[in-house]
Copies of this chain bind each other. A is one copy, B any other.
Amino acid sequence: MNNEFFKVFSSIFDEVQWSTSESELYRHSHDESDHPSLAPELVFFPETKQDVVDIMNLSRKYDVPLTPFGAGSGLEGQAIPLHKGISINFERMNKILTFSPQDMLVTVQPGITRLQLNSFINKHGLYFPIDPGADASIGGMTATNASGTTAVRYGSMRDQLLDLEVVLADGKTIHTGTKAKKSSSGLHLTGLFAGSEGTLGLITEVTLKLHGIPEQTIAASCNFSTPQQCAEAAHAILLSGIPVMRMEFVDACSIKQVNIYGKYQLPEEHSLFFEFAGMTKTVEEETALAQSIIGEMHGFNWKVASDSIERAILWKARHELSYAYRHVQGMAASGGDVCAPISKLPELVAYARELIVASELTGGIFGHVGDGNFHTIIMYEAFNDEDSQKARNINDQLALRAIELEGTCTGEHGVGIGKIKYQEAEHGVAYEVMKNLKVFFDPENRLNPGKIFS
């Protein structure tokens, strides 16, 4: 970033639109992961699409790398500006552009967070169901193809997108889709930009499908003697055809951790958490069927929470799980995010536990078993290189085993910095095609350089 760039940049943008203050540079140097932080040279706050086009054109002219920043809640370092340059923080582009309750559609700017969006649309009886836990920005969720606890019913972000507006590296703006609920026209660019982590273009608008708030919601939890029994029971529920809204596995070690963190009194056993949602009688029928399956699969402590406060407490505990590990004084945490065919889940969960035990570190296993996706979080003393390396080794071995089992190294966190090393193993020759596509869209490698592609 040379002086000439800065002269032109500061002549175009008012100083309220950018910052080089230490606190802002620090805020944009890291995300929620333990990847080493690195500060940008400047933080830019676009307010309009034209601002994004302008910064793209300047980036091209003066060869300045651009790294988009949503809410900073990523878990693979996607927002860390590895090649320095400019962090583009979208928080001021957080408007709802068009809302069509009739069509159950909304078009938003990328900086709006999922809770901001829901607080606006909920009063119309609609909601946006994708829930990665953190109050992530819609742009960030799109860029990483986020999902979370409701993916078992609604899929990932990619499944909820109808259209993206994207500013390309050459400064041109495209729309990748339309507002029709389905289309067989042209090539599917929407799916390509979703999950591309800002490496192919900058997203300036997102059109999302919305869903009706279910008439009735029931939460339930139960315990099992082993993680494998949990996985097997989850599998039996899926085969029964119950369209669960959420189905989460949490191992006993993680329950202990969250009890300490949030002063909960959950039974410290391997657990499944459920949510059933829909029309009243339907949900009652589903809950009863689930209970009987859980009984057959050796579950115990079946507990139903149908009032909204009890339900909220239960799910708050689940959402805080990651923080319970990540925010322990003096400790760092390293997380895995494998996803495999459901039938391989018992084997993969058992393997994860073996690795943790062998490492002699403390770590938990929990995740979205309905999708075959689960996380490991391994705690280690901050700045203890040996333990940090041990934690990373667990991630490596688990990711490679997931790939061997025809699964993926990342179910929902994305590739970012940490999962580049598994791309070749997972995608084979297709990774070459992906690399060439990166060059196709961003020949000078200025868009979030160092992510997905090394």
* Docked complex Cα distance between A238 and B185 (Å): 24
B342 touches A411 (CB 8 A): no
A180 touches B279 (CB 8 A): no
B188 touches A195 (CB 8 A): yes
Q: Size class of A's contact patch? A: 35 or more
Most B Cβ at <10 Å: residue of A186, A240, A242, A429: A186
* Docked complex Cα distance between A242 and B281 (Å): 13
Tell me the A239-268 residues at the B interface (CB within 8 Å). Answer: 239-242
- The contact string, 1 if C-beta is below 8 Å from chain B, for chain A 183-194, is 111111111101
Tell me if A357 is interfacial: C-beta within 8 Å of chain B: no
Stretch from A14-22, A114-122, A171-179, A379-387 that touches the partner: A171-179
Partner of A343, one of B102, B191, B413: B102
Tell me if A235 is interfacial: C-beta within 8 Å of chain B: yes
B182 touches A371 (CB 8 A): yes
Stretch from A54-62, A63-71, A145-153 that touches the partner: A145-153
Tell me the A409-447 residues at the B interface (CB within 8 Å). Answer: 409-415, 419, 422-423, 426-431, 433-434, 436-438, 440
Q: Name the B residues within 8 Å of A97 (CB-CB).
A: none
Tell me the A193-212 residues at the B interface (CB within 8 Å). Answer: 194-196, 200, 211-212
Tell me if A103 is interfacial: C-beta within 8 Å of chain B: yes
- Count of identical protomers in the assembly: 2
Most B Cβ at <10 Å: residue of A190, A195, A341: A341
Partner of A186, one of B104, B278, B402, B427: B427
* Docked complex Cα distance between A423 and B192 (Å): 19
Tell me if A316 is interfacial: C-beta within 8 Å of chain B: no
B285 touches A182 (CB 8 A): no
A408 touches B241 (CB 8 A): no
**Which chain B residue lies CB-closest to A126?**
B239
A180 touches B437 (CB 8 A): no
A410 touches B183 (CB 8 A): yes
Partner of A429, one of B105, B174, B211, B419: B174
Q: From residue A440, how far is it (CB to closest CB) to chain B in Å?
A: 6
B339 touches A173 (CB 8 A): no
A103/B188 contact (C-beta < 8 A), A285-B279, A430-B175 known: no
A184/B410 contact (C-beta < 8 A), A282-B281, A429-B173 known: yes
Stretch from A40-48, A80-88, A155-163 that touches the partner: A155-163
Partner of A340, one of B180, B407, B427: B180
A103 touches B341 (CB 8 A): yes
Tell me if A219 is interfacial: C-beta within 8 Å of chain B: no
Q: Name the B residues within 8 Å of A89 (CB-CB).
A: none
Tell me if A215 is interfacial: C-beta within 8 Å of chain B: yes
Q: From residue A278, how far is it (CB to closest CB) to chain B in Å?
A: 8
Tell me if A217 is interfacial: C-beta within 8 Å of chain B: no
Partner of A339, one of B182, B240, B340, B419: B182
* Docked complex Cα distance between A217 and B407 (Å): 34
Q: Name the B residues within 8 Å of A289 (CB-CB).
A: 279
A433/B174 contact (C-beta < 8 A), A192-B192, A289-B279 known: yes
Tell me if A3 is interfacial: C-beta within 8 Å of chain B: no
A186 touches B415 (CB 8 A): yes
A185/B408 contact (C-beta < 8 A), A159-B159, A175-B430, A215-B241 known: yes
19 contacts between A and B (CB under 8 A): A102-B239, A144-B184, A159-B159, A174-B427, A174-B429, A174-B430, A180-B373, A181-B339, A181-B371, A183-B410, A184-B410, A184-B413, A186-B427, A189-B434, A191-B192, A211-B241, A281-B281, A282-B282, A282-B285
Q: A181-B371, A185-B419 are in contact. List 18 more A-B contacts (CB 8 A).
A: A100-B341, A102-B235, A102-B343, A159-B159, A175-B430, A179-B340, A179-B341, A180-B406, A180-B407, A184-B412, A185-B408, A185-B414, A187-B195, A188-B192, A189-B433, A212-B241, A279-B286, A436-B440
The 8 closest A-B pairs by CB, nearest first: A191-B191, A212-B241, A102-B343, A183-B408, A174-B430, A179-B406, A180-B339, A282-B282
